[in-house]
Structure 1
Amino acid sequence: MKQNSKILIAAGGTGGHIFPALSIINEIKMNDFIVITDQRGENYFNNFFSNKNINHKIFVHKVSSPSNELFIVKLRSIYQLLISLLKTIFLILLNKPQVIVGFGGYPSVAPVIAAKLLKIPSIIHEQNAIIGRANKLLGKISNLLALSFFETKNTENNHNLIYTGNPTRKEHCLRQLSYSAPNKTQKFEILIVGGSLGANFFSEQVTAIICSLPRELRENIYITQQVGKNDISKVKRIYNNHQIEFFIESFFDNIFEKFKKAHLIITRSGGSSVAEILTSRRPVIFIPLPTSFDNHQLENTKLITNIGGGWVLDQNNEVVKTLKKLLENLIKNPKKLVIASNQIKKLSKDLEVKRKNKSATEFFSDVLIDLIKTNHKKISKPC
């Protein structure tokens, strides 16, 4: 692909949509990028581009879900979509991108519709094991619907599917780093990542569960935890009161470094979280967000838990008792973690074979480059 191809990237403002987009931009950075996002996503993209020499323009579109039951809210959402569509058509005519890539969320809707109207090739990427509302619509009009999970639900009527996996940053790929359980002279290191949705549950409930462990176990653990800014001082005080060593921040810029050191991850199960577990090959306890659309976070966990690579707990069903018992078991029997890590390693290798022995980021980038080269006349065969 010649340098300085113009690529329009559209993504909603949550990490699950943003992080795959950033991974692809970083992989093929010798190009010009036009970014369409919402107010939440603007900070992610600004922070990403601030220390990188990548040509880009960022445009913020105000869009919202039309699924609200209130008629006036539906009308407002449709109006916002129409405005976004007009703005996008103008941007495309002015900047002439060769391809449009949607990473989900409502900011992706207008760009992919505009691509269809203006006959520009487009790709939609779905992060979860159950396709989202916006992607379900857009997948029918885009050239390719790229899947993070080999068997994504509710895609039966789509004939343009291709399995790519979920792109992650290169730093997260720890395939060359072996996993070992903590020995008697090491602390048992637990990484807790609550995510932007439902983080209070991790700050309050998960913290309390860890502090309820027997003293002899608390003395041998080290906690690295993502905590909301408003909860940092409270969580630090609780851990100090229970003589637990910890490192707490509201956001980890070098999260991959935390993954390297962790013996166990406790996290939600959004698409990006599952992808990071796959690439880091760390044992995991998933606590899915119970309010996720179509309960897709629970569905996401099955890829790893079904092969024994981790454990899944129901936040609404005696999680306090269950998580405490599980943590006690794993701390006392660290060989179970090694078995889980080996299972994830095997799964990760099997999925790479389906991507021609490439990472999700590399394979998705190749598909994108191929689409630009051929102008959608000869696309790689979908799965």
Structure 2
Amino acid sequence: MKHFFDKEYKVLLVTDNRGNNLVKNSSEFKSYILSAGTPTNKNLLKKFFSYFLIFYSIIRSIIILKNEKPDLILGFGGYVSFPISFTSKFFNLPLIIYENNMVLGRANKYLSSFSKKILLAKKATKNFPEKYKNKIYEVGSILNKNIINYSPFEENENKEKFSILVLGGSQGAEIFGTVIPTVVKMIQDEGYEIEINQQCIINQKNSIIDFYKKHNIKNYVFEFD
């Protein structure tokens, strides 16, 4: 966002309630809220409701694009970005998508068929359609370097002591909360001193913290907010 502001571009953000909570006090740009969720791994009723939210968000996206008349759509993957990115096709607006993971997500995989460019943090090796590889531009992480380089722990040259950061998607992957603590304990048992910073879902937070405390593993466990 800072890059666009430095270039004096007008920026319009389309996000969900969680994302809007982070920027609602900013006067630098205008934002809209869309509601959308993944229809996968749900029962029939919840799946129907998810598809309804996506359809409703597409209708809202049409209204947003008609009123705002942007010159470019930049999508960052996930079901929240899907409606506005998909709607760009109706207005013949150029779409650029960004994929931060090694595996191309479902939303970006579908959008890649009509996106002008596909920006990757690292070269995607799985789930990537061969016919769209001519659109790829490997640009690295778009996070601010201060965030990438930040650590609450002091730097230590001891190679047997290191810190690990675990981020599991926008809300913390549930499987990470089950697997990662055990893996960290295995590394500790090999003689390494571990400092773990782990994102998790809210109902796993206390059990993960208790596990690390029990095994004397320095930790910072946090949920997405």
**TM-score, L = length of structure 1:** 0.45
RMSD: 3.6
Larger Rg: 1
Q: What CA distance in whole angstroms lies between the structure 2 residues aligned with 1:205 and 1:118?
A: 50
Deviation of the 1:143 alpha carbon: 2.1
Q: What does 1:58-207 correspond to in 2, within 5 Å?
A: 58-65=32-39, 67=40, 75-150=48-123, 152-153=125-126, 154-158=128-132, 161-163=135-137, 164-172=139-147, 181-182=157-158, 188-193=161-166, 195=168, 196-197=172-173, 198-201=175-178, 204-207=181-184
Contact 1:126/1:147 (<8 A) preserved: yes
CA displacement, residues 182-218 of structure 1 (integer Å, 9 cap, x when unaligned) = 27xxx723334253113423564135335545xxx47
Residue 98 of structure 2 aligns to a residue in which SS?
A: strand
Match of 2:186 in 1: 209
Deviation of the 1:251 alpha carbon: 5.9
Contact 1:127/1:148 (<8 A) preserved: yes
Identity %: 25
User: Which amino acid in the other structure matches residue 31 of structure 2?
Assistant: K
* Cα distance, 1:123–1:247 mapped onto 2, change above 3 Å: same
Residue 157 of structure 1 aligns to a residue in which SS?
A: helix
More helix by share: 1
Q: What CA distance in whole angstroms lies between the structure 1 residues aligned with 2:167 and 2:133?
A: 36
User: Which amino acid in the other structure matches residue 155 of structure 1?
Assistant: P
The list of structure 1 runs, each at least 4 consecutive aligned residues, that deviate by more than 6 angstroms after superposition, is none
How many corresponding residue pairs? 208
Contact 2:20/2:31 (<8 A) preserved: no
Residue 206 of structure 2 aligns to a residue in which SS?
A: helix
Contact 1:125/1:145 (<8 A) preserved: yes
* Cα distance, 1:33–1:202 mapped onto 2, change above 3 Å: farther
Deviation of the 1:89 alpha carbon: 0.6
Q: Which runs of 5+ in 1 are unaligned?
A: 1-24, 254-383
Q: Which runs of 5+ in 2 are unaligned?
A: 150-154
User: Which amino acid in the other structure matches residue 37 of structure 1?
Assistant: T
Match of 1:10 in 2: none
**TM-score, L = length of structure 2:** 0.71
Contact 2:116/2:135 (<8 A) preserved: no
* Cα distance, 1:172–1:57 mapped onto 2, change above 3 Å: closer
Deviation of the 1:69 alpha carbon: 8.3
